[in-house]
Amino acid sequence: MDISSMWIFEYLGIISSILIVLAILLLLTAIILGYYLLKKNKILFPKLSLYITNNFYSILLRMFLIIGTEDTFYKVASDFYNKYYCEEFKKSKNKVLILPHCLRDLKCPGKLGPDGVECIFCGKCPIGRIIKVAEENGYKTYVVPGSTFLKRVLKEKRPDGVFAVACHNDMFHGMNSLSRKNIPIQGQLLMKDGCISTLVDVEELISRLKNEPC
């Protein structure tokens, strides 16, 4: 290989590196701008943002980790889904509320049935209170022990709107899955996760169920 050919390859390598850096900077700028607008209840290029979030979230996550944490990415993405599907969700007639079984008290007397954990309204945890408010406002509630059970419930009940309470990771992947099925979704993150005796802001959740979900 002569010197001129080596120079051309070196030049192309430099150009490629510059383009990659510029693309990363552009994407990071778009993420930061999108997050800022999201806080202002605005979405930058809604349809395009939805398509990218639905199908290329793994790339977005890698980019986001340069400036934030994984949980922060999941929160931002969940906020995006909440905003995007807000108006469609309000029109839903067959809504379901999905609660994680980890909200239960450690000594919960409820038994697992075909529709999930069957609450007996013992008052040891906030689930009974949440279920009552949800049913008064048109939601059918399911306390589910895992994603496999949730998939079966959604397949059998065929809701046209889903409101879910979950940890950061489960929330994002659940919302992402439902979004790709074009099912309007709303979500509220747990205040404390860990799969045992978790916590949710009960008052905020009840307010969203009674008034505006988003």
Dump pLDDT digits (tens) for 10-36.
666 677 667 565 555 555 555 555 555
Please give the CATH number for the structural domain made up of 86-210: 3.40.50
Separation between Cα atoms, residue 38 and residue 80, nearest integer Å:
7
What's the gap between Cα 171 and its chain centre?
4
Separation between Cα atoms, residue 149 and residue 209, nearest integer Å:
23
Q: How confident is the model at residue 213 (pLDDT cuts 50, 70, 90)?
A: confident
Q: Considering the entire predicted model, what is its pTM?
A: 0.79
Residues 79-118 pLDDT 10s: 999 999 999 999 999 999 999 999 998 889 988 888 889 9
Contacts by 119-123, CB closer than 8 A, 24 or more apart: 119/143
Q: CATH 3.40.50 region(s) of the chain? A: 86-210
The more confident residue out of 182 and 196 is 182
